[in-house]
Amino acid sequence: MEKEALNNSRNTMELCKGGLKPINTTVPTSGMDEEEEEEVEPLSPMGHIFHVPGLNYFIIAVLGCKIKVDVEMIKYGIKQTLIKHPRFSSKLLFDVKDPTKPVAWIRTKVNVDDHIVVPDLDPNMDSPDQFVEDYLSNLTKYPFDLSKPLWEVHILNVKTSDAAAVGVFKIHHSLGDGVSLISLLLACARKSSDPNALPTLPVARKKPQPATRSSRHSGFLKCFFGSLMMLKVLWNSVVDIALFLATMVFLKDKNDFMRDGAHHDGEQPPKRFVYKTFSFDDIKLVKNAMGVTVNDVVMGITQAGLSRYLNKKHGKDKGDHNNALVNNLPKDIRLRAVLVMNLRSHTMIEGLAKRMEADTKVDWDWGNLVGYVLLPLHIGIKDDPLDYIRDAKATIDRKKQSYEAQLSYSATKCFLNTLGLGVAVPLMHNSIGNTTLTFSNLVGPLEEVSFYGHPMAFLAPSFYGAPQPLIVSFQSYMDKMTVVVAVDEDIIPDPHNLCNEIVDSVILAKNAVIQKKLESL
């Protein structure tokens, strides 16, 4: 099977060389380098933020491949796609008066070899999974060379338990938000079944509206209830933004994960990344049975996993090692998640692919365009594992009736533009650092895709640099779901246990759904 996949990847490579549609292989003229050097774009306010110590964010995306990685194929593909993107072919320009302060992006000639790291590995190493985990952790310990564009690709040709080889993208967050960067990576991929076709993402289905009789009476009721809903949304928005501002100033979570004075004036400690892949069908089974969304389910199982993890930890502290159903949690525990929400109204993959194909200057519609929502998490021991999902649905439904994401984005920009970095940065640091974790759930392709001719086994994106001890990320791909747990090991020394508790919570929820169906027969 691996031999067949390798042959397919080589065929894809030949297609690329022959003019794979939508990848343009035209070589730029020599005079273009001098022209590109003169292209300067000011650093956005959010770009400034992501270069401040304490908020220096990096995205890590692990891509599992079904075959050994052909390094030359990866280099060739990157030359046809990624380096055509202005952010991936620009370096930082620094203030003349303050050489440590970046002020703009300047286009530069990219030597792809400077961005590809291929360590010489022993294919017969004892524990390849542990090696990859340690390698990812080590990536968080050093910064980028700021004289080059801020991205790297690390190729680890070692067979793990779930892939024949692993590629790791390390990208500075100032290049774009997680949603746009993952979209960019997918725009560089093609369907394994059709090398000319872009990946297909699921489209959210709109619920059909019930038919109503047209009358003056029904129109009045519609207007009345619409006004009530608008008032509710406005009230929720006022409450949410008030809590967001309070979190910026003083309101802190209270739980085992919080640490006072954590790195406000410097870089965050190294992170350790642990990921695990499980059946997406289990998520969909629970979703369909309960009439909820995928977001509701993954947030619910995250709450369940955190509850079980903390309860066992407190149980061990009390000498109770066996009974996981006994509630050992403190009564005053308060734990909130920062939910990252994409504010774009459209998918970016097709547009990005067309822009990378074009040789002309185009509007990339790029940047960090995400809002933040503070989600209170329900931590406790429940008899019914589905109650965690019901609680998550109630919380998320409440947040849907609010403009918190848009207001938090606008408030951040306003603080940056009016108060300056000196005041805005500590406020932004607190708005995240006073909470416990960041949560994200990204939608992946429905069918198998190949990245520059390499069939993909899984995709596991995350990030580090946030003043929080925990990041939880979900990424779907075909019939699989991957959960990534990124932790500060000084606070969470056993991330595998936490990751396993989250995955085990999926099984518990699925079994509960099956049991209820059997009881109803």
- Summarised one tens digit per residue, pLDDT across range 343-391 is 776 556 666 666 666 655 555 556 677 788 999 999 999 999 999 999 9
SS (H, E, C) 227-242: HHHHHHHHHHHHHHHH
pLDDT confidence of residue 19: 37
Question: Which residues does residue 153 pair with via DSSP β-bridges, in sequence order?
Answer: 116, 169
Q: Which amino acid is at 109?
A: K
pLDDT class for 211, splitting at 50, 70, 90? low
Report yes or no: 51 and 95 within 8 Å, Cβ to Cβ. Answer: no
460 pLDDT more than 70? yes
The pLDDT score that the predictor gives to residue 343 is 76
How far, in Å, CA of 85 to CA of 83, rounded? 5
pLDDT band at 69 (very low <50, low <70, confident <90, very high): very high
Listed in order, strand segments (DSSP E) in 43-188 are 58-65, 90-94, 102-107, 116-117, 151-156, 165-172
Quote the tokens at residue 268.
Answer: 């965050």
Is residue 462 pLDDT above 50, yes or no?
yes
Range from 34-38, 49-53, 139-143 that averages highest in pLDDT: 139-143
Q: What gap in Å lies between CA 443 and CA 445, rounded to an integer? A: 7
| Distant-in-sequence, close-in-space partners of 349: CB < 8 Å, separation ≥ 6 | 183, 186, 187, 198, 199, 201
Average pLDDT over residues 154-175: 95
Q: Which residue has the higher pLDDT, 352 or 41?
A: 41
Strands annotated E in 418-469: 437-442, 449-451, 454-464
pLDDT exceeds 60 at position 23: no
Looking at residue 46, its pLDDT comes to 77
Higher pLDDT, 182 or 194: 194
Task: Report whether 379 contacts 436 (CB < 8 A).
Answer: no
Q: What pLDDT does residue 412 have? A: 81
Ranking 234-243, 338-347, 444-453, 487-496 by mean pLDDT, the lowest is 338-347
- Percent of residues, the chain, with pLDDT higher than 70: 81
End-to-end CA distance of the chain: 43
* pLDDT for residue 213 is more than 80: no
Active site residue 496: no
Q: Of 458, 460, 459, 453, nearest to 70 (Cα)?
A: 453
Distances in Å between the Cα of 110 and the Cα atoms of 42, 113, 339 are 20, 9, 35
CA pair distance 267, 250, nearest whole angstrom: 22
Closest CA relative to residue 269, chosen from 446, 386, 433, 106: 433
pLDDT for residue 324: 59
CB atoms within 10 A of CB 47: 23
Q: Extract the tokens encoding 253.
A: 């979570």
* Cβ within 8 Å of residue 147, ≥6 positions away: 91
- Confidence band, pLDDT 50/70/90 cuts, at residue 222: confident
Question: Could you give the strand order of the β-sheet that contains 454-464, starting from the edge strand earlier in sequence?
Answer: 116-117, 151-156, 165-172, 58-65, 454-464, 449-451, 189-191
CA distances from 422 to 53, 57, 236 (A): 12, 18, 30
Q: Which residue has the tokens 């059997």?
A: 518
| Separation in Å, CA 105 to CA 62, 164, 181, 293 | 27, 37, 17, 40
Q: Backbone phi, then psi, for 143, in 5-degree steps?
A: -85, 175
Predicted confidence at residue 217, as pLDDT, reads 62
Amino acid code (one letter) for 82: L
Structure tokens at 95: 């203030």
Classify 167 as helix, strand or coil: strand
Q: Average pLDDT, stretch 283-289?
A: 96
Distance CA 424, CA 414 (A): 9
The whole-angstrom distance between residue 271's C-alpha and the CA centroid of its chain comes to 15
Structure tokens given for 109: 């000639």
Residues 225-253: what's their mean pLDDT? 90
What domains are there in the chain, each with its CATH number? 2-27+37-191 (3.30.559.10), 224-446+467-520 (3.30.559.30)
Angstrom distances, CA of residue 136 to CA of 271, 272, 458, 475: 8, 7, 16, 18
Task: Over range 396-421, report the average pLDDT.
Answer: 87
- The mean pLDDT of 201-221, rounded to a whole number, is 62
Query: How confident is the model at residue 357, as a pLDDT?
Result: 64
Give the model confidence (pLDDT) of 92-108 as tens digits: 999 888 888 888 999 99
What string of DSSP letters covers 18-60? TT-TT---PPPPTHHHHHHHT-EEEPPHHHHHTTSTT---EEE
Pick the range with the lowest mean pLDDT from 101-105, 218-222, 338-342, 415-419: 218-222
Residue with tokens 């990219």: 110
pLDDT number for residue 21: 40
The band of 305, judged by pLDDT with boundaries at 50, 70 and 90, is: very high
Percent of the chain's residues with pLDDT above 90: 50
Query: Of 173, 378, 429, 454, which residue is the catalytic one?
Result: 173
Closest CA to 271 of 59, 127, 440: 59
Name the packing angle between helices 71-80 and 2-17 (round to 10°): 40
